[in-house]
């Protein structure tokens, strides 16, 4: 079920009502009801993969429990490996198997050896990359003795399947979420209103900003050989706002919806487009993924490679970011996307001290604008990869972009009025983000007087009705 679908408009109030007024007598009942609601939410998309979520949950529930019971180091290691193999194995089978088979076959073909490789007819179960990471972190945290396993299977199933964050995160840690499911939740007006504001803002970003951009982005990327350099530049800029509006919009709706149920999810975006380095960008973009990989991938690798000194840090960084890229999908474009980010972050690590010195010498505002521009420029360049279907397309797009026609006016794509209001809305969007960058989110208006507050709400509802696209556009991150 999509957040931006008609069914969700019925689903949410019904679940909300039952949760707070019918099953509110005991915690277990509420959690059990959340599992049913969440499995229904997911099953609406494809009920066949419900078994996979259940399987992934059960495995980690029992392995987690067992790890805490045994003291013997070797047994603990075996249990951890079992969890890693079953989680990553499932992910591999559904998401990466075909990619590896096809690449092996073509590798051998290029060496003159004909291989017969059979690929699987599988579709990617939605959300698999998110919930396998979530269950994995549970087992690893128990292994590291950072948390204790939960003895309550109902709570654990609710933690894994909690519908606001099931299909595209934030990738929660058991240490944050499970304790919230174990205590009594009370509805407060403050949380309810804050949740509703986040949902409103998330919808604005998704159906107004992202989905309006999507129309032009698809048009430009699908016909890139016929476009001028400036149109291609505009295409990738529009894509930047599409992907940001889409994913951060989704996250805001998820965090807001969870708040309606008295659950606090982690922050996933912190105005990433105002970053002055790629390092900073990853601290503000998809925070739940970047911190996940920092804790479970980067840190363990860098500790192993500590004897190499700086070289170890660089290798760990590049490797971690390449894997972040690959996490997005079984396609070379994502691998190269991640690799480029890893290389730039390594450059930033190696020049930290030097850049600090430059910063002191140059005018502060100038340094800020330059850093912002360079960061954005690099980011846009890598977004071409992110949006392209193949590496060949990405190279082609870039070649057509770096052309004399870059210095012409971009082509206006029909319908003209739609292009104009999309660009105007983006400008309004950037300004709103800029002037509210020190707040939690743009619609953080709890302190305004009632009259003004409702003025703001009405305005955004109106903007959504007038400019929103309601053709059930999927969220981009659902495919990852």
Partner 1 sequence: MEMTEVLAQINEIAKDVFDDENIVLAENTTANDVEDWDSITHVQLLFSVEKQFGIKFTSSEIAKFKNIGEIIACILAK
Active site residues: 328
- For partner 1, the binding residue among 93, 107, 115, 349 (CB under 8 A) is 349
Question: Which residues, 138 to 167, sit near partner 1 by CB under 8 A?
Answer: 144-146
Q: State the sign of the Cα–Cα–Cα–Cα dihedral 262, 267, 269, 271.
A: positive
Of 13, 300, 373, 455, the one binding partner 1 by CB under 8 A: 300
Our finding on whether 317 is near partner 1 (CB under 8 A) is yes
Min dist CB 146 to partner 1, Å, is 8
**Residue closer to partner 1 (CB basis): 307 or 414:** 307
Residue 5's CB is within 10 A of a number of other CB atoms, namely: 13
Q: Is 103 in the site for partner 1 (CB under 8 A)?
A: no
Residue from 26, 75, 299, 479 binding partner 1 (CB under 8 A): 299
Tell which one of 356, 361, 364, 416 touches partner 1 (CB under 8 A).
356
Structural contact between residues 243 and 386, judged by C-beta atoms closer than 8 angstroms: yes
Q: CA 83, 89, 94: angle at the middle one, nearest 5? A: 140
Residue with tokens 């290029």: 110
Q: How far is the CB of 136 from partner 1 (least distance, A)?
A: 16
DSSP state of 164: H
What is the rounded distance in angstroms from the CA atom of residue 240 to the CA atom of residue 161? 30
DSSP line for 400-433: HHSSGGGGSPPPPPSSHHHHHHHHHHHHHHHHHH
Task: Name which of 86 and 317 has its Cβ closer to partner 1.
Answer: 317
- Minimum distance, C-beta of residue 85 to partner 1, in the bound complex (Å): 21
Residue 303 binds partner 1 (CB under 8 A):
yes
Burial 231-244 (b: 16+ CB within 10 A, else e): bbbbbbbbbbbbbb
What whole-number distance in Å separates Cα of residue 223 and Cα of residue 74? 57
Which residues are within 8 A (CB) of 98 and not within 5 positions of it... i.e. 6 or more apart? 119, 120, 122, 330
Q: Within 108-127, which residues bind partner 1 (CB under 8 A)?
A: none
CB of 356: closest distance to partner 1 in angstroms?
6
Q: Which of 223, 351, 352, 390 binds partner 1 (CB under 8 A)?
A: 352
Q: Taking a C-beta distance cutoff of 8 angstroms, is the pair 292, 133 a contact?
A: yes
Spatial CB neighbours of 71, under 8 Å, sequence gap ≥ 6: none
By CB under 8 A, tell whether 267 contacts partner 1: no
Residue nearer to partner 1 on the CB measure, 145 or 264:
145
DSSP element (H, E) containing 434 = helix 416-435
Give 210 or 302: the residue with its C-beta nearer to partner 1: 302
Q: Computed from CA positions of residues 16, 20, 23, 24, in that sequence, does the dihedral angle turn out positive or negative?
A: positive
Judge whether 147 and 159 are in contact, CB under 8 Å: no
Q: Minimum CB separation from partner 1 for residue 144, in Å?
A: 6
Q: Is 41 in the site for partner 1 (CB under 8 A)?
A: no
CB of 361 to partner 1, least distance (A): 15
Closer CB to partner 1, 301 or 370, in the complex: 301
**Residue of the chain from 152, 267, 295, 444 that contacts partner 1 (CB under 8 A):** 295
* Residue number, 143 or 480, with CB nearest to partner 1: 143
- 302 is a contact residue toward partner 1 (CB under 8 A): yes
Min CB(335)–partner 1 separation in Å: 22
d(CA 131, CA 437): 30
User: Which CB atom, from 80 or from 313, has the smaller least distance to partner 1?
Assistant: 313
The region that residue 145 occupies, defined by phi over 0 for left and psi between -120 and 50 for alpha, beta otherwise, is: left
Q: Total residues contacting partner 1 (rule CB under 8 A)?
A: 20
Binding site for partner 1 (CB under 8 A): 144-146, 279, 283, 294-295, 298-300, 302-303, 306, 309, 313, 317, 349, 352-353, 356
């Amino acid at each position: 079920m999509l957040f931006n679908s008609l069914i969700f408009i019925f689903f949410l109030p019904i679940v909300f009502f039952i949760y707070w007024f019918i099953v509110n007598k005991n915690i277990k009942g509420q959690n059990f009801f959340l599992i049913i609601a969440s499995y229904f939410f997911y099953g609406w998309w494809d009920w066949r993969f419900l078994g996979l979520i259940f399987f992934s949950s059960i495995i980690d529930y029992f392995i987690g429990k067992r790890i805490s019971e045994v003291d013997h180091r070797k047994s603990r290691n075996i249990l951890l490996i079992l969890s890693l193999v079953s989680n990553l194995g499932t992910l591999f089978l559904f998401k990466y198997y075909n990619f590896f088979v096809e690449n092996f076959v073509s590798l051998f073909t290029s060496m003159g050896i004909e291989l017969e490789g059979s690929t699987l007819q599988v579709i990617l179960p939605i959300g698999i990359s998110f919930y396998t990471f979530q269950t994995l972190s549970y087992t690893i945290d128990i292994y590291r003795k950072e948390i204790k396993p939960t003895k309550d299977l109902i709570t654990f199933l609710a933690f894994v399947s909690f519908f606001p964050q099931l299909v595209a995160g934030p990738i929660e840690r058991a240490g944050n979420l499970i304790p919230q499911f174990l205590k009594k939740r009370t509805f407060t007006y403050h949380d309810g209103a804050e949740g509703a504001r986040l949902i409103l803002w998330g919808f604005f970003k998704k159906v107004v900003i992202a989905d309006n951009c999507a129309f032009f982005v698809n048009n430009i990327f699908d016909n890139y050989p016929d476009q001028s350099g400036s149109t291609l530049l505009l295409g990738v800029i529009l894509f930047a706002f599409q992907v940001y509006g889409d994913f951060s919009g989704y996250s805001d709706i998820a965090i807001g919806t969870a708040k309606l149920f008295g659950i606090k999810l982690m922050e996933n975006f912190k105005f990433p487009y105002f970053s002055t380095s790629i390092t900073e960008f990853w601290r503000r973009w998809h925070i739940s993924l970047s911190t996940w990989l920092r804790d479970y991938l980067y840190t363990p690798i860098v500790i192993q490679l500590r004897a190499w000194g700086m070289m170890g840090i660089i290798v760990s960084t590049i490797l971690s970011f390449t894997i972040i890229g690959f996490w997005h999908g079984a396609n070379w474009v994502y691998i190269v996307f991640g690799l480029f980010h890893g290389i730039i972050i390594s450059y930033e690590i190696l020049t930290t001290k030097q850049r600090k010195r430059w910063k002191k010498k140059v005018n502060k505002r100038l340094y800020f604008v330059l850093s912002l521009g360079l960061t954005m420029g690099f980011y846009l360049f890598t977004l071409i990869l992110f949006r392209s279907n193949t590496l060949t397309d990405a190279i082609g797009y870039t070649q057509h972009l770096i052309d004399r026609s870059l210095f012409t006016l971009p082509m206006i794509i029909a319908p003209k009025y739609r292009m104009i209001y999309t660009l105007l809305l983006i400008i309004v969007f950037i300004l709103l983000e800029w002037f509210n960058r020190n707040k939690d989110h743009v619609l953080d208006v709890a302190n305004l007087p009632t009259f003004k507050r409702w003025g703001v709400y009405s305005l955004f509802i109106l903007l959504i009705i007038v400019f929103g696209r309601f053709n059930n556009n999927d969220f981009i991150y659902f495919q990852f």
